[in-house]
Amino acid sequence: MIQTLVNVFKIPELRNKLLFTLAMLIVYRVGYWIPLPGVNDSLLKEHFQQQTQSGSALGQISSYISVFSGGAFSQSTIFGLGIMPYITAGIIFQLLASVLPQLKKLQEEGPTGRQKIMEWTRYATVALCIVQGMMWIQYMVRMGMVYPSYAQNPLYWIMATAVLTGGTVFLMWLGEQIDRFGIGNGMSMIIMAGILARMPEALMWVVNNFGPGEDGKMGWGGLLMLATGFVGVIAGSVLMTVAQRRIPVQQAKHTRGRRVFGGQRSYLPLRINHGGVMPIVFASSLMLFPSVIFTGIADALNTSSRGGAYGLFRWLADNFHPGEFPYVMLYIVMVYFFSYFWITVQFNPEEMSKQLRDHGSFIPGLRPGPRTAEYLETVMNRITFVGAAFLSLIAVLPMVVNKNLKIDYAVTQFLGGTGLLIVVSVSLDFLQRVEANLLMRNYAGFLSGGEDGTSPRMRSARG
């Protein structure tokens, strides 16, 4: 491992990419500490701590958005909106491309069409930033978190909205610079940096609450359980992220003159967790609304009458909080639903079957065409059930541990959830890119094996 790290810095091009990526991430973290003018940060932070501890809908929204903004949302910095508006705009256009023929045709045109969609995504990001920024400023003004001299000035609203919008656009630009001159996916690296920046807070909570033999403190058993759970969940997440169902594909033989081409056997890899983190993102977004809706209905019935309907909606409002049984069950159902919804949008067995037939390939034992498409769809539905079960476990584990063991959410979020999956997938992608650069220059990489500096896959190919 040490020799591999030395090899990374021996290659000037790779070293410059790594240092550039690190410099851009440092710029992002510096902006995290630049506050938005006119906001009482101490009052804002205290307010969100109370909301998070009470398990209110606002606390859920804050915890969810903080995954993508690195916690800057509750501190109201210039990067307060984070990269979330860009992600939202990208998801919107990705879903629209599956239902609108014009967008789908534009996407199939190649780099030119994708560049056009990317341009529209940027415009949509700016629009979302303006709307979200104004809503956020209005909320802070209503809660008294903005100094009165600023809140009554219309120019302040324009300035604050422009700052929040400019912060997100700047993060978007940083991500594009990492894509061009750094290594790794820029947007994903920024999100991962925001998530990992919260790890010191989790470690400090463990240190402050560790006291064997003291009442209300964590003992050696609790510490061992946390460490074992962290390592086990990370290992399981890595395994399920890279897990594949390999379908054998046979290439047909072609005779040209006296020579025979083709006849090779390969594999069609289908990922077990094809949707990645997106089903949890969709499920988390929608699970913010039941608590708000039920609480509003219960409050409305409380002022008018206190009949049976009030008792029902009050019970629903009290039980649709993270960690409660109804909330967890509905969360699992939503994760399964969006897992299958995502493969319906992203995975097209008919198109894949057509591509196999056009390239002269087929799955042994199956006729090309509809029979192959049916088989691919059946296999994908089966492995998606397993992938959705894994996502459900990862999604509900942090809230269950937080609810039943009284461990702070800042700690339990590293035992599962959206943040953990993002960190695992981005880290694996980053390591694979570094590995490719090392192997291209005949260096042993992080994922390589053997004393000769070659990967097992390369050795098996040479025999």
Q: 3-state secondary structure string, 342-400?
A: HHHHHCCHHHHHHHHHHCCEECCCCCCCHHHHHHHHHHHHHHHHHHHHHHHHHHHHHHH
Given this model, what pLDDT does residue 336 score?
92
Average pLDDT in the 304-314 region?
69
Higher pLDDT, 410 or 237: 237
Structural contact between residues 387 and 339, judged by C-beta atoms closer than 8 angstroms: yes
Given this model, what pLDDT does residue 52 score?
60
- Per-residue confidence band for 306, with pLDDT thresholds at 50, 70 and 90: low
Given this model, what pLDDT does residue 348 score?
83
Given this model, what pLDDT does residue 307 score?
58
Given this model, what pLDDT does residue 295 score?
78
Average pLDDT in the 20-27 region?
91
Domain assignments of the chain as residue spans, ordered by start = 1-197
Whole-structure pTM value? 0.77
Q: What are the pLDDT digits (tens) for 53-75?
A: 555 555 556 666 666 665 555 66
Highest-confidence range of 49-63, 148-162, 392-406, 418-432, by mean pLDDT? Answer: 148-162
Cα–Cα distance for residue pair 446/438, rounded to 1 Å: 9
> Which contiguous run of DSSP H or E holds residue 255?
strand 253-256
Structural contact between residues 268 and 249, judged by C-beta atoms closer than 8 angstroms: yes
| pLDDT higher than 60, residue 205 | yes
Q: What are the pLDDT digits (tens) for 451-463?
A: 444 444 444 333 3
Closest CA to 444 of 12, 21, 5: 5
Q: How many helices (H) and strands (E) does the chain have?
A: 21, 5
Given this model, what pLDDT does residue 159 score?
92
| pLDDT higher than 90, residue 359 | no
Q: What are the pLDDT digits (tens) for 102-127?
A: 888 887 777 888 888 888 999 999 99
Among 107-116, 409-418, 419-428, the minimum mean pLDDT is found in: 409-418
Topology, domain 1-197: Preprotein translocase SecY subunit (1.10.3370)
Closest CA to 318 of 300, 284, 295: 295
Average pLDDT in the 345-362 region?
84
| pLDDT higher than 80, residue 252 | no
Average pLDDT in the 219-241 region?
82
- Mean per-residue pLDDT of the chain: 80
Given this model, what pLDDT does residue 158 score?
92
Which own/partner contact pairs does 313-320 have at CB distance under 8 Å and 24+ positions apart?
316/290, 317/291, 320/290, 320/291, 320/294
Given this model, what pLDDT does residue 446 score?
61
Residues in contact with 279: Cβ distance below 8 Å, sequence separation at least 6, in sequence order: 335, 338, 339, 341, 342, 388, 391
Task: For residue 456, give the 3-state DSSP assignment.
Answer: helix
| pLDDT higher than 90, residue 224 | no
Average pLDDT in the 264-274 region?
85
Average pLDDT in the 42-50 region?
73
Task: For residue 337, give the 3-state DSSP assignment.
Answer: helix
Given this model, what pLDDT does residue 127 score?
93
